[in-house]
Structure formats: structure tokens, C-alpha cells
């Protein structure tokens, strides 16, 4: 089989490997679509939040087909379309243990969820980043048509936040310097998409000067994280989802008290995948505009290169078509 392998730091290669064997409580999955995340790039460059070692196969945003099942597997059958969670106890699938960027890979039944019939393989590979966005909004208390939401940053997760809050009925404003990403936000359900220099005037107009009910910070840039406190209204909520470790910026921390703010932080999407899948299937939300480049398996390294250029790539997918 073909596999994208990080053989060493900054050394990706597509290699021929034997199809792996499965244990009694495992399934063999044929990958169909695998997304490239910024954290995959960081892993290739030698950085990640838990220990790892090379060589390894990346890939934690994926969809696939069950092609073999172990004798102890009761809830899945050959032919089931599945997606899978990536945080597995102390291990992270696609990081500390090899992931889905291969024709075939091994997974435990307990990690997996059936992909609803309404969702394509491309949508399936977007469930993981969408679940992160969906979890952040739910963790902050959720939104409805009464709310105005400001999303700071239009990377894949920020755009997924805009799609989620738009589908929930909120008036969603995305704040992003890139014109192309602002256009993507509008196509995914944001009501407005503006340059950072224009957000104050628009927010005042939309809310009558009230400010945002919820600000979701999705850029991970400390100055933008500080700005969130200024855009949220009295008794509003701020949800931090963008990741920064060790950065700093001046912030008007007194606004937390004077505005009586509720602030949440979230990472990953624990315990919410079944609900996320029901939401995507029931809402009819189309996330496929997030995928701006697609690469066949033999060009998997080119997908990594594309992901290095966020000015032209929102999300790159690697597509597999192998059969046993």
C-alpha cells in the first residue's frame, strides 16, 4: 500500500508499505479523504504538544471504509463508512501513533463513528475540524437567532465556527484581513465578513452599539486575543479557540470585570462527535468550500507543500482510492 511517511524532520515521502494486520478488537480502514491540518505541518517541522518520534504516518482529519473487522468487533461491519476521533487517552492519532494518510490503516472500534449517509467522504474528512469549532460554540453556551457573533480569524476552524453559528441562526460577522477568506466566510453562512479595520463601525451598526453577544477568537494571535475583550458587549461571552503558547500582548483586562464577561477556552472536541455528526446531517450544512486543493495519494507530499501557503490554500485534501 501507499503511505505518506514522515521519515525524519522536514522529510516527507510516499512509501510502499505492507497492509497492516489487525487484532481482534481492531478494524482495517481504507482511507478515502484525508485533510492536512496546520498541526500536521508543525509535526513535520518537529513540534507538537505531546512527545512523538519519527518515522510516523500523519493524518487525523479523515473519512474511510471499513474493509476488515476483528473477531471481537460487534458494532461495525465491512462496508461501513466511518470517521474517527484523534485524541485517544494519552495518545493522539496521527501524531504520537500513526494516522490515516495511507491506503489502509488500523483503528479501534471505540474511536470510530459511522458517517451518516447525508455526508460525503469530503464532508467526513471535515468533521474533525468542524467538531472543534462546534464544541467551542457549545462550550460557550451556544447561540441562536437572537445573537450576534463575531469570529476573529478565518482559518479552517474560524470558518467552521462561522458555518456553525450561521446554521444555528445567529448573525455572524467574520473579521479577517484576507479578501479570499472573507469571501469563503460568506459562502459558508456568515452574514458579514470585514477587514479588521472595519469591524467597529459594522458591529455598532448591526447591534445598535450593544456589541457582540459572543466573540470567538480563532486566530491564536495575542493582539487579536486581546481585541476580543473590546468587541464583546456587556454580559457577553468570549470563546478562545485559537492556539498560542507563550505569546503575549497588552490587554484591557479590566473589561472582564466591568462588562461582567464570561470567558471560556477549549481545545479539541471531547465527547461531542455524535452530536456533531447529527448536526451536520440534519442541518444540510455544506463545508466543502473549505477544500481548495485536492491531491491523489501519490502526490501527498504536494498537499503538505500547499498547506504551507495559507494565502492560497484554506484546506488541502489527499484522496485515496485503494481496494483490497
Tens digit of each residue's pLDDT (9 = 90 or more) over 294-308: 999 999 999 999 999
Q: Tell me the pLDDT tens digit for each residue of 175-226.
A: 999 999 999 999 999 999 999 999 999 999 999 999 999 999 999 999 999 9
Indicate whether 109 and 169 sit together in one domain.
no
Indicate whether 148 and 243 sit together in one domain.
yes
Q: What is the pLDDT of residue 214?
A: 98
Report yes or no on 270 lying in a domain. Answer: no
Indicate whether 79 and 154 sit together in one domain.
no
Report yes or no on 282 lying in a domain. Answer: no
Report yes or no on 178 lying in a domain. Answer: yes
Which of 244, 238, 241 lies closest to 223, judged by CA? 244
Indicate whether 155 and 42 sit together in one domain.
no
Q: What is the pLDDT of residue 207?
A: 98
Residue 303: CATH number of its domain:
3.90.180.10
Which of 129, 42, 47 lies closest to 83, judged by CA? 129
The rounded distance, in Å, linking the Cα atoms of 3 and 268 is 26
3-state secondary structure of 166: helix
Indicate whether 258 and 171 sit together in one domain.
yes
Indicate whether 145 and 121 sit together in one domain.
no
Terminal alpha carbon distance of the chain? 10
Q: What is the pLDDT of residue 208?
A: 98
Cell for 152? 476573529
Indicate whether 150 and 254 sit together in one domain.
yes
Query: How many domains does one find in the chain?
Result: 2
Indicate whether 134 and 93 sit together in one domain.
no
- Does residue 89 carry a pLDDT above 90? no
Report yes or no on 324 lying in a domain. Answer: no
State phi, psi for 20 to the nearest 5 degrees: -70, 155
Residue 240: CATH number of its domain:
3.40.50.720
Indicate whether 243 and 219 sit together in one domain.
yes
- Does residue 245 carry a pLDDT above 90? no
Report yes or no on 36 lying in a domain. Answer: yes
Q: Report, as an integer, the average pLDDT of 8-23.
A: 97
Domain ranges, residue 58: 2-126+287-319
Indicate whether 260 and 292 sit together in one domain.
no
Q: What is the pLDDT of residue 311?
A: 87
Indicate whether 109 and 166 sit together in one domain.
no
Q: Is the peptide bond before 107 cis (omega within 30 degrees of 0)?
A: no
Report yes or no on 315 lying in a domain. Answer: yes
Lookup result for grid cell 503538505: 304
- Does residue 246 carry a pLDDT above 90? no
Report yes or no on 137 lying in a domain. Answer: yes
Indicate whether 163 and 221 sit together in one domain.
yes
Q: Tell me the pLDDT tens digit for each residue of 105-156.
A: 999 999 999 999 999 999 999 999 999 999 999 999 999 999 999 999 999 9
Report yes or no on 228 lying in a domain. Answer: yes
Helix axes 156-167, 127-139, angle to 10 degrees: 60
Percent of the chain with pLDDT over 90: 94
- Does residue 276 carry a pLDDT above 90? yes
Amino acid at each position: 500500500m501507499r503511505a505518506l511517511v514522515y521519515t525524519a524532520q522536514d522529510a516527507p515521502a510516499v512509501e510502499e508499505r505492507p497492509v497492516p494486520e489487525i487484532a481482534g478488537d481492531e478494524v482495517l480502514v481504507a482511507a478515502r479523504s484525508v485533510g492536512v491540518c496546520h498541526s500536521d505541518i508543525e509535526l513535520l517541522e518537529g513540534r507538537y504538544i505531546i512527545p512523538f518520534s519519527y518515522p510516523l504516518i500523519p493524518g487525523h482529519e479523515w473519512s474511510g471504509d471499513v474493509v476488515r473487522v476483528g473477531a471481537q468487533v460487534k458494532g461495525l461491519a465491512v462496508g461501513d463508512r466511518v470517521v474517527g476521533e484523534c485524541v485517544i487517552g494519552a495518545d493522539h492519532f496521527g501524531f504520537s501513533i500513526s494516522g490515516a494518510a495511507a491506503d489502509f490503516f488500523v483503528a479501534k472500534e471505540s474511536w470510530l463513528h459511522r458517517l451518516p449517509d447525508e455526508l460525503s467522504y469530503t464532508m467526513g474528512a471535515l468533521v474533525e475540524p468542524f467538531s472543534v469549532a462546534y464544541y467551542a460554540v457549545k462550550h460557550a453556551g451556544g447561540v441562536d437567532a437572537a445573537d450576534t457573533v463575531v469570529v476573529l480569524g478565518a482559518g479552517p476552524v474560524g470558518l467552521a465556527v462561522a458555518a456553525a453559528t450561521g446554521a444555528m441562526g445567529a448573525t455572524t460577522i467574520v473579521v479577517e484581513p484576507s479578501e479570499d477568506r472573507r469571501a469563503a466566510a460568506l459562502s459558508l453562512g456568515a452574514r458579514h465578513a470585514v477587514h479588521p479595520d472595519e469591524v467597529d463601525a459594522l458591529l455598532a451598526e448591526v447591534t445598535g452599539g450593544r456589541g457582540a453577544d459572543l466573540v470567538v477568537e480563532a486566530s491564536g494571535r495575542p493582539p487579536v486575543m486581546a481585541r476580543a475583550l473590546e468587541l464583546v458587549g456587556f454580559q457577553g461571552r468570549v470563546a478562545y479557540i485559537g492556539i498560542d503558547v507563550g505569546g503575549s500582548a497588552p490587554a484591557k483586562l479590566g473589561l472582564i470585570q466591568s462588562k461582567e464577561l464570561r470567558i471560556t477556552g477549549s481545545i479539541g472536541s471531547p465527547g461531542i462527535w455524535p452530536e456533531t455528526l447529527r448536526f451536520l446531517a440534519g442541518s444540510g450544512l455544506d463545508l466543502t468550500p473549505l477544500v481548495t486543493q485536492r491531491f491523489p495519494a501519490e502526490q501527498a507530499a504536494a498537499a503538505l507543500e500547499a498547506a504551507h501557503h495559507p494565502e492560497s490554500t484554506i484546506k488541502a485534501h489527499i484522496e485515496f482510492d485503494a481496494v483490497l
